[in-house]
Amino acid sequence: MKPEKIEKWLPHRYPFLLVDRVLELKPGESILALKNVTYNEPFFTGHFPERKIMPGVLILEALAQAGGILLYHSIPDPDSVFVVLSKVEEAKFRKPVIPGDQLKLQVKMLKQKVSFCSFEAQAIVGEEVVAEARLVAGIMKKSELDEKI
């Protein structure tokens, strides 16, 4: 899946769209996606100017976005819902992510219910896990969300 299709499934846009490509997608099971970390990322201006390190929260966001793509492909009538990150558990950051790294975003679906879905997620550079977490996504009806906004 190329960027044009990713934008069909995620509401995020530059500079907050953190999935560049989807390599594998098994609806209801798992996704393998990529995020190419470049020197020109806007967050590197301030994090940190002397030693550029990708913020851990953005690694989690990239994993959550990959999980969102997986979830949208795993539910009936995906156009009627809006998926939001609602919980992060057991997050661990094992190594810094720097310009030039390619993050493999590996997300596996653990449990899916009507209003939420839980995932096991890992960010990998080369063969090393650099971050991991359990994520929970909330599934909201777009009509309910529109009433709140």
> What residue type is assigned to position 139 of the chain?
I
18 in helix, strand or coil?
Answer: coil
Is 73 annotated as catalytic? no
> Out of 21, 47, 73, 134, which one is annotated catalytic?
47
In angstroms, the CA 33 to CA 143 distance is 30
Torsion angle of the four alpha carbons 128, 13, 32, 115, in this order, in degrees rounded to the nearest 10: 110
Give the residue numbers annotated as catalytic, written as ranges: 47
